[in-house]
Amino acid sequence: MGTSSRLPLPAQSTAILIGTASYDSPEIPDIRSITGNLSDLRAALAHDRSGGFAQGRTHVFADADESLRPRVAELAADARDTLLVYFGGHGWVEPDGRLYLGLRTTEPSLRRYTSLPYDDLRAMVIDSPARRRLVVLDCCFSGRAIDMLGDGDDAAGQLDISGTYVLTATSATRMAHAPDGMRNSAFTESLLGVLRDGIEHGGELIRVADLFPHVRSRLASKGLPEPQQRGTNTIGELALARNPRHPHPQGPPEHRTGPRRLST
């Protein structure tokens, strides 16, 4: 493990978890597992012994409408050290070639205008003063977000800048998996599995660089689509949690805020 590996600075870091499990339109199928994704990710990221984020700075937006945009932008602007943004739900690529993220109020015939354009979410991340930025997308065609990193027609919209990392559930052309009756979608379940179970023979911290190969291995063992990633500079050294399999002290870090909770 690199000497620069560390957890986010809790008082200067923010995690934003966005997910759409239910849709107003009957033409868009609900994804019940997204509810479990949001709850379980918050518990893992803000766990009082192993999580890398403070509970009071880990925010959940469930089944939101377009009003979430200024709220997310405000929270992103408040992060100075680390910003993590997660989205789980439906994703679509429209004729303009762009990725759109489903909101509760998305209209099927007007998806381009009633969804959250990934461009908008990307702009909020870019505008954040956080030194390290991570985007995690669990939706169909989410790899399009990585393809968009190379787009040269909008320099101000590039996410391929210093200290950034994008992790997606699938490639730009594959569907994500959310099996009926499961608490979590396939990709997020694998992500949670690494955070909860830890990495055998790993270091004290679970770095971004460690996360991807283990998530990919879990998905491959089930014959599921391969996740995608892209990062810049030394972002891979950033840790998201303590490694439960490492024999480090398990006492609660001094920086944790909010009520203590039992292990999940």
**3-state secondary structure labels for all residues of 96-136:** CCCEEECCCCCCHHHHHHHCEEHHHHHHHHHHCCCCEEEEE
| Contact between residue 107 and residue 25 where contact means Cβ atoms under 8 Å apart | yes
Closest CA to 147 of 131, 162, 158: 158
200-217 in b/e form (b: 16+ CB < 10 A) is eebbebbbbbbbbebbbe
What does the alpha-carbon distance between residue 83 and residue 8 come to, in Å, rounded to a whole number? 9
- Residues whose CB is less than 8 angstroms from the CB of residue 116 and which lie 6 or more positions away in sequence, other chains included: 66, 68, 69, 87, 100, 101, 102, 103
Q: Say how far residue 184 (Cα) sits from the centre of its chain.
A: 14
- Side-chain half-sphere of 106: how many Cα atoms within 13 Å? 25
| Contact between residue 171 and residue 148 where contact means Cβ atoms under 8 Å apart | no
Closest CA to 147 of 134, 131, 159, 164: 159
3-state helix, strand, coil in the chain (%, to 5): 30, 20, 50
Per-residue pLDDT of the chain (264 residues; tens, 9 = 90+): 444 789 999 999 999 999 999 999 999 999 999 999 999 999 999 998 899 999 999 999 999 999 999 999 999 999 999 999 999 999 999 999 899 999 999 999 999 999 999 999 999 999 999 999 999 999 987 877 876 544 444 433 444 556 889 999 886 556 676 667 789 998 999 999 999 999 988 899 999 888 999 999 999 998 888 888 888 767 878 899 999 988 764 544 444 333 333 333
At 258 the pLDDT is 38
User: Tokens standing for 99?
Assistant: 């990725």
What does the alpha-carbon distance between residue 89 and residue 181 come to, in Å, rounded to a whole number? 16
| Contact between residue 121 and residue 75 where contact means Cβ atoms under 8 Å apart | no
User: Tokens standing for 51?
Assistant: 């999580």
At 179 the pLDDT is 65
What is the set of domains in the chain, with CATH numbers?
10-242 (3.40.50.1460)
At 146 the pLDDT is 74
Helix ranges, 182-231 (H):
186-197, 208-220
